[in-house]
């Protein structure tokens, strides 16, 4: 069966361990601590006023939301959507990624992903009967352009980038993204750019959308999500911007799997996008406070673990100086110290011990307790 090649999703397993160990503080799952904007739910009244909203709607998304996304892309991402590009609303950006892979590949084609990778991307590629070609990043988790070029074969259909990055939190430079995008154009392959964490950036670092680059429209697929910025992961709304020549293929895929994105969720998304980037940014100060206390605490155990410069998303990727398996270590931290993190094996790092620490879901006080438990657990385990 095709699913035999798919890794077990580790987050539900970690969540079960958390459930069995009460009072555990989770530094695991990548969600934010704040709720959705209340104003977004006012749009539900508009949904209810039209009985036709209970019927199937457009496979691409309702026109009001598509227009709002088009405006957002122009202002926030400098992506001008004209007749060369198409927007599709999806049930989260994971679905957008699956749509993209199915639209551009045949079985046994190859997709280049950068390690450490986002596990759902690797799983989706295998589910499509394609092969993920895993290319290591450098020691600061930045793209290694030479290695990427060397990995391209006649079967390669796309290079995937995630910036700001999950799981490492790094932000790719404009130059690296531009080089990758140019390589894709030159080689006749696609650049799939996952930008779910576009607003989560610190230290005056800038986020760049590859679809804003000149002459990128024919080979760039951009993925976005409302789950993080607007705090409503369960509403399952994302969207994708694709070259127009892929439109019919994605329509077929989306109609087969989903028929249309959940319409009531689209109305909520419309309300959120009307509020815009300022909603997320007002919470970034609190998230950055948590980020700073975690960085400061981790410096105390630099003999045990190293963390690279992470200027985006809400993750740190820790390299632990031990031969211990990362899942075993994560399990011990939950059982013995009541703090949860995600093992690096989930993200394709097998040879060394890595842990992903997420800090977006907690307020300052709870995060301070959680990082104290993590520091204590690692210190006792490795006897500083």
Domain locations in the chain as residue ranges: 2-30+278-382, 38-275
- For CA atoms 180, 182, 184, 190, the dihedral sign is positive
- Give average pLDDT by consecutive 10-residue segment, the chain, 384 residues: 82 90 92 94 94 96 98 98 97 97 98 97 96 96 98 98 98 98 98 98 96 97 96 94 98 97 97 95 94 92 90 96 92 96 93 94 92 92 60
Could you tell me which residues are beta bridge partners of residue 85?
243
pLDDT value at residue 383: 57
Q: What are the beta bridge partners of residue 99?
A: none
Provide the pLDDT for residue 351. 84
- CATH-assigned architecture of domain 2-30+278-382: Alpha-Beta Complex (3.90)
**pTM for the whole thing?**
0.96
Parallel, antiparallel or unpaired: strands 315-320 and 305-307: antiparallel
Q: Classify burial at 278, counting beta carbons within 10 Å of its beta carbon; exposed 0-12, middle 13-18, buried 19 or more.
A: exposed
Note the Cα 93 to chain centre separation in Å.
8
The hierarchical CATH code for the domain 38-275 is: 3.40.640.10
Looking at residue 336, its pLDDT comes to 94
Query: What pLDDT was estimated at residue 380?
Result: 79
């Amino acid at each position: 069966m095709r699913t035999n090649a798919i890794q077990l999703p580790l987050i539900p397993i970690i969540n079960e361990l958390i459930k069995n160990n009460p009072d555990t503080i989770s530094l695991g799952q990548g969600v934010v601590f704040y709720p959705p904007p209340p104003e977004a739910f006012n749009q539900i009244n508009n949904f209810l006023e039209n009985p036709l909203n209970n019927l199937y709607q457009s496979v691409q998304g309702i026109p009001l939301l598509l227009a709002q996304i088009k405006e957002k892309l122009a202002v926030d991402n400098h992506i001008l959507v004209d007749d060369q590009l198409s927007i599709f609303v999806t049930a989260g950006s994971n679905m957008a990624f699956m749509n993209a892979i199915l639209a551009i590949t045949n079985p046994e084609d190859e997709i280049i992903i950068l390690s450490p990778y986002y596990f759902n991307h690797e799983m989706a590629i295998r589910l499509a009967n394609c092969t993920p070609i895993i290319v290591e990043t450098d020691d600061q988790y930045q793209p290694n352009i030479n290695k990427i070029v060397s990995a391209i074969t006649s079967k390669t259909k796309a290079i995937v980038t995630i910036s700001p990055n999950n799981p490492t939190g790094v932000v790719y430079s404009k130059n690296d993204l531009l080089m990758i995008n140019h390589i894709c154009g030159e080689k006749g392959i696609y650049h799939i750019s996952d930008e779910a964490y576009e607003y989560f950036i610190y230290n005056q670092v800038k986020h760049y959308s590859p679809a804003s680059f000149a002459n990128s429209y024919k080979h760039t697929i951009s993925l976005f999500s409302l789950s993080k910025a607007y705090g409503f992961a369960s509403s399952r709304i994302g969207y994708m911007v694709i070259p127009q020549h892929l439109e019919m293929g994605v329509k077929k895929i989306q109609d087969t799997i989903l028929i249309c994105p959940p319409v009531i969720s689209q109305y909520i998304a419309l309300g959120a996008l009307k509020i815009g980037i300022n909603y997320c940014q007002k919470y970034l100060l609190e998230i950055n406070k948590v980020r700073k206390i975690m960085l400061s605490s981790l410096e105390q155990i630099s003999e045990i673990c190293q963390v690279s410069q992470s200027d985006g998303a809400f993750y740190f990727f820790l390299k632990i100086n031990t031969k211990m398996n990362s899942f075993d270590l994560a399990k011990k931290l939950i059982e013995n110290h009541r703090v949860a993190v995600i093992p690096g094996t989930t993200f394709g790092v097998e040879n060394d011990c890595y842990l992903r620490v997420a800090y977006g879901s907690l307020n300052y006080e709870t995060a301070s307790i959680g990082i104290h438990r993590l520091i204590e657990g690692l210190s006792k385990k490795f006897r500083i």
